[in-house]
Amino acid sequence: ILLSLLLLSFKSFTMSNDVVITGNRVSIRLSPSIQGELLDRAMVGDHFSSVTKSNGWQGITAPDFISAWVHSDYISNNIVLPKKLNVRIGPNKNYGVLTVLSEGQKINQLEIFNEWIKINPPSNSVVWISNDFVSNVVNIVKIEPTKEPIEIQEKELIGYDNDNLISLSFNLKETKEQG
């Protein structure tokens, strides 16, 4: 059955890679575990970019307020010298590793503490929040109606009601004003 319909307006729903925090003072951790090192807290309504999920935990791109440090011995003119360089969550080798930078990568130096350089968390940095306190962000896009006329012809629609076949028909009254 061929049927042309005009939808005056409708909304389109799409899922994004963003999550929103649904609780207050939600722990942001270095690893997907309650034992993971506590990095900071997120507040209700905060939005983050989702990267991955693991065992009831949501991996998000590390926000700029998360500390990231590299040792100055391995940086020259804001460029990483060794093949691999650990980015730590504090200015000491005892702090956990947030991510790893590669040789030739450029850093953005924020401050210096002893022999350590504070940088923005690299884009590949992942931190973790319990799935119990996040919700996916749904983008709602409203599509406006078209002004172009359409042609509707008399058609028969067939529907089902439980086990009974229902035949519906309709007639378009061309003299009646359409709203």
What is the b/e burial string over 100-128, where b = at least 16 CB atoms within 10 angstroms of the residue's CB?
Answer: ebeeeeebeeeeeeeebbbbebbeebbbb
- Residues written for the chain: 179
Alpha-carbon torsion, ordered 117, 121, 122, 126, to 10 deg: 140
Q: What is the pLDDT of residue 5?
A: 41
Residues in the chain, pLDDT under 50: 1-15, 155-162
Contact 33, 45 (CB under 8 A): no
Among the listed residues 84, 115, 114, the one whose alpha carbon sits nearest the alpha carbon of residue 99: 84
Q: What is the pLDDT of residue 150?
A: 55
Q: What is the pLDDT of residue 136?
A: 86
Q: pLDDT, tens digit, for every residue of 57-104?
A: 999 999 999 999 999 999 999 999 999 999 999 999 999 999 999 999
